[in-house]
Amino acid sequence: MKLKQLESILGTLEQFSNPKIELEQYPTGPHIASRMLYTAENSFGDVSNKVVADFGCGCGTLGLAAALLGAEHVFGLDIDPQSLDIASVNAEDLELDMNFVQCDIRNLGWRGYTVDTVVMNPPFGTRKKGADMDFLSVALKVASQAVYSLHKTTTRNHVKRAALQDYDASSAEVICELRFDVPQLYKFHKKKEVDIAVDLWRFVPRRN
C-alpha cells in the first residue's frame, strides 16, 4: 500500500466525539499516523506479519494503520470505553480485525513476549506529568522487537536518557521530527489550531 493511500483511508476514521482532557485525548491525525506506520513497515519491517499492540489506542488510528499494512494480529489497549467503542466501529467499517482490551497501561498485567511491536501516541504528560514515560516504560517491557512512539521534541534528551538508562532499551533513535497539529478541542485552547514539534522515536528493547 502506498503512503498516500494509507493516509487517505485513515482520514475516513471517526475521531473522539467528546474528548476527555484528563486523558489528554488528542486524535492522531492521518498525516502523522500514516508516516509513523509506513516508516515502521518500509524502513524496519516491524509491521507486516507481526503482532502489533497500540497502547492508548483511542479511536484506533495507529492500530488500524498497522492492520492495513498487513500486521498479523493487532491489539488495541485503552482505558476509556467510549474510545474503544469508536475504535470497534472504525475497525468494522474498514473490515479489519483488532483485539481490544480496556485497561490502564500503567498497570498492565501482560505475560510473555507475544507482541513484536508496540505503536503509540501516548499522553504527552502535560496534564499528568510523566504519563508518556510511564507508557514507554511498559511498552519496552511488552514489545519483543520495537516500540514506536511520539514525544514532544522539547523532551528529547530526557526521553533518550530514560529509555537507555531507566527502561533498559538497547537503542533509542529519533527517526524524524513531525508537526502534531492540535485542533481547538478544549475550552482552554485559546487559538484555533496550533502545531507542536514532536519526535517520532524507535526504541529497541534489550531482549533483541
Partner 1 sequence: MRLLTHNMLSSNIKGVTNGFPLRIEVEKVVEKQVDFNADFLKNMFLKLEWMALVGASQTMGYDELPQEAEPSMLDSDHFLKRLHHALLELHLEEGALICPETGLRFLVNKGIPNMLLHEDERLKKRSCDLVGYPIAKGSFT
Q: Is 111 in the site for partner 1 (CB under 8 A)?
A: yes
Q: Is 208 in the site for partner 1 (CB under 8 A)?
A: no
Residue from 8, 43, 114, 154 binding partner 1 (CB under 8 A): 114
Round the CA-based radius of gyration of the chain to a whole number and report it: 16
20 Cβ neighbours under 8 A, 6+ residues apart: 80
Q: Is 109 in the site for partner 1 (CB under 8 A)?
A: yes
Distances in Å between the Cα of 183 and the Cα atoms of 11, 94, 106, 153, 205 are 15, 25, 27, 19, 33
Residue from 110, 141, 181, 185 binding partner 1 (CB under 8 A): 110
Rounded to a whole number of angstroms, the minimum distance from the CB of residue 81 to partner 1 is 8
Contact string 69-88 vs partner 1 (x = CB under 8 A)? ---xx-x---x-x--x---x
Distances in Å between the Cα of 95 and the Cα atoms of 68, 90, 139, 190 are 10, 8, 27, 38
Residues that bind partner 1 (CB under 8 A): 49, 72-73, 75, 79, 81, 84, 88, 97, 99-104, 107-115
